[in-house]
Amino acid sequence: MKLFLFSIICFSILCSSNGKSARPIPPVRAVNLGGWLVTEGWIKPSLFDGIPNKDFLDGTSVQLKSVTVGKYLSAENGGGTIIVANRTTASDWETFTLWRINETTFNFRVFNKKFVGLDIVRKSIAIANTLGVAETFEIQRNPRDLNRVRIRAPNGFFLQVKTEELVSADYEGDGGWGNDNPSVFLLNITGRMQGEYQVTNGYGPLVAPKVMKEHWNTFIVEKDFIFIKKVGLNAVRIPVGWWIAHDPSPPKPFVGGSLQALDNAFSWAEKYGIKIIVDLHCAPGSQNGWEHSGSRDSSQEWGQTDDNIQQTVQVIDFLAARYAKSPSLFAVALINEPLAPGVSVQNLTKYYKAGYDAVRKHSPTAYVVLANRLGPSEPRELFRLANGMTRSVIDVHFYSLFSDIYKGLTVQQNIEYIYNNRTAHLRELTTSSGPLILVGEWVAELLLKNATKQDIQSSKYTQ
Ligand SMILES: *[C@@H]1O[C@H](CO)[C@@H](O)[C@H](O)[C@H]1NC(C)=O
Ligand SMILES: *[C@@H]1O[C@H](CO)[C@@H](O)[C@H](O)[C@H]1NC(C)=O
Ligand SMILES: *[C@@H]1O[C@H](CO)[C@@H](O)[C@H](O)[C@H]1NC(C)=O
Ligand SMILES: *[C@@H]1O[C@H](CO)[C@@H](O)[C@H](O)[C@H]1NC(C)=O
Ligand SMILES: *[C@@H]1O[C@H](CO)[C@@H](O)[C@H](O)[C@H]1NC(C)=O
Ligand SMILES: *[C@@H]1O[C@H](CO)[C@@H](O)[C@H](O)[C@H]1NC(C)=O
């Protein structure tokens, strides 16, 4: 039941050929099995409970204010020159993103993606392009006031703010946690990520395999497929990460075992006559920088090289080869929520062509789902591409969330928005000669904070 509380994200494929009919019958009505084979912290927060020092996971953004000068540390020019402590307000250059080495040791990534490092000879703090021993820092927290930290450099000394323009790694002593100690900083955590990278690297290579295996074996079980069948759904959409193709030994920190869980899903689906949409949610390098794409630190690097695209095509090839023979394989979704402008339509098109061919190599019938880009993009930008393919589908996501336009809407206004505006959006996409449309994600949740169960149900029925 828990799964439905958290992830009743339903979707359907509408037939393009009967766009004129008032009520097109969707061939699939499905639930997303979110938070299972790709971790999303909000779906199952307790998965992170056992991580030591869990405030400091990969991708945590921190700002540090010196107690003695009362100003923020800043990577001058976003990185490339020096670290100073002369900013009265904190923004991008004053924000450092953590890479976790283990529970006490971290790299600090600066705005332009370089790293804070130690100039061992001068005991000064520098900006480094590459990572080594000189870029590993220990964060010590005041056990009585967790917002006070000190940072120990790899030479054994603490960072200290000598003047607003001189930060060095040469503070020896302890000196307490008071406002007179130049090695003490006020910590402000301004961003957190709770995805697969964070959970696996947070537990580390010894514990993560056990924790993830337990999660995969218990979060979705055979009984859920029985329930799905019973309530009249006929499909599931299963988000997976690129590392599944490298099971049982994926690159660190990811751990093996999700492939076995997906195999189980296929055997249950076959047993109960349920279809599966396999959805590549995490592409190598991350296609959107969000935690649910397996990103380490919000960087979005997918699609920037041919190598990276080729690597992703191989993942699709692997999945298609493995499941093509299953009567439950309904569709392969090539990539979830590629984000513009970081992902260009040209490079995405190149990938979609190769990904389509990879699926077709193994299956003449599986639908191939091409996700529209989020961010600045055109709803029909993939039409020409999709029209040149057979059994291709355009995927769109319709949340009444994540945008100011839903702020302040009453339940009734939300319902009208779905009736009028979403209908218009779908009509724009649904043409008699165009591709099929998949509303791959939507959710009954409203932005309205005081919505009652009845409200949620009404808007769900409207969808
Ligand atoms: C901070 O210090 C750097 C290095 O001296 C200087 O270039 C910059 O203008 C200073 N910024 C402020 C806001 O004082
Ligand atoms: C963390 O890593 C650092 C640097 O490699 C090492 O010195 C330290 O012992 C490690 N700590 C733990 C708890 O593993
Ligand atoms: C921490 O960050 C938040 C969000 O940027 C900001 O509103 C707040 O003033 C900051 N607090 C401190 C102590 O820097
Ligand atoms: C698209 O791919 C080309 C070549 O592989 C690369 O040079 C370019 O930077 C990529 N564009 C984006 C937005 O990633
Ligand atoms: C919804 O559609 C109506 C016209 O049917 C339009 O006036 C309104 O601006 C749209 N709302 C939003 C938030 O786009
Ligand atoms: C929810 O709050 C809005 C205003 O914030 C109010 O108009 C509405 O009546 C409330 N709804 C319920 C169900 O309490």
pLDDT tens digits for 40-94? Answer: 999 999 999 999 999 999 999 999 999 999 999 999 999 988 999 999 999 999 9
Q: What percent of the chain has pLDDT over 90?
A: 81
pLDDT at 7 over 70: no
Q: What percent of the chain has pLDDT over 70?
A: 94
Grade residue 225 by pLDDT with cuts at 50, 70 and 90.
very high
Residues with CB under 6 A from ligand 4: 303-306, 344, 347
2-48+194-462 is a CATH 3.20.20.80 domain = yes
Give the separation between CA 185 and CA 194, rounded to whole angstroms.
Answer: 25
The catalytic residue positions are 337, 441
For residue 446, count CB atoms less than 10 angstroms from its CB and return exposed for 0-12, middle for 13-18, buried for 19 or more: buried
Q: What was the pLDDT predicted at 26?
A: 67
Q: What was the pLDDT predicted at 24?
A: 52
How many CB atoms sit inside 10 A of residue 242's CB?
27
Q: Which residue has the higher pLDDT, 306 or 15?
A: 306
Over the stretch 430-456, which tens digit does the pLDDT of each residue have? 888 779 999 999 888 888 888 899 988
Q: What was the pLDDT predicted at 386?
A: 96
Q: Name which of 42-51, 184-193, 246-255, 401-410 the model is least confident about.
A: 401-410
Give the separation between CA 463 and CA 449, rounded to whole angstroms.
Answer: 19
Q: What was the pLDDT predicted at 462?
A: 86
Q: What was the pLDDT predicted at 195?
A: 98
Letter for the amino acid at 271? Answer: K
Grade residue 99 by pLDDT with cuts at 50, 70 and 90.
very high
Where are the extended beta strands (E) located within 321-435?
329-333, 367-371, 392-398
Q: Which of 283, 173, 265, 250 is nearest to 216 (CA)?
A: 265
61-191: which CATH topology? Trefoil (Acidic Fibroblast Growth Factor, subunit A) (2.80.10)
Residues of the chain with CATH 2.80.10.50: 61-191
Distance 455 CA to ligand 6 centre (A): 11
Q: Name which of 68-77, 141-150, 423-432 the model is least confident about.
A: 423-432
Letter for the amino acid at 374? Answer: L
pLDDT at 177 over 60: yes
Test site for ligand 2: of 99, 101, 105, 155, most ligand atoms within 8 A of the Cβ: 105
Confidence (pTM): 0.93
Cis peptide before 248 (omega within 30 of 0): yes
Nearest CA to ligand 4 atom 14: 304
Average pLDDT over residues 267-279: 98
Mean pLDDT taken over the chain = 92
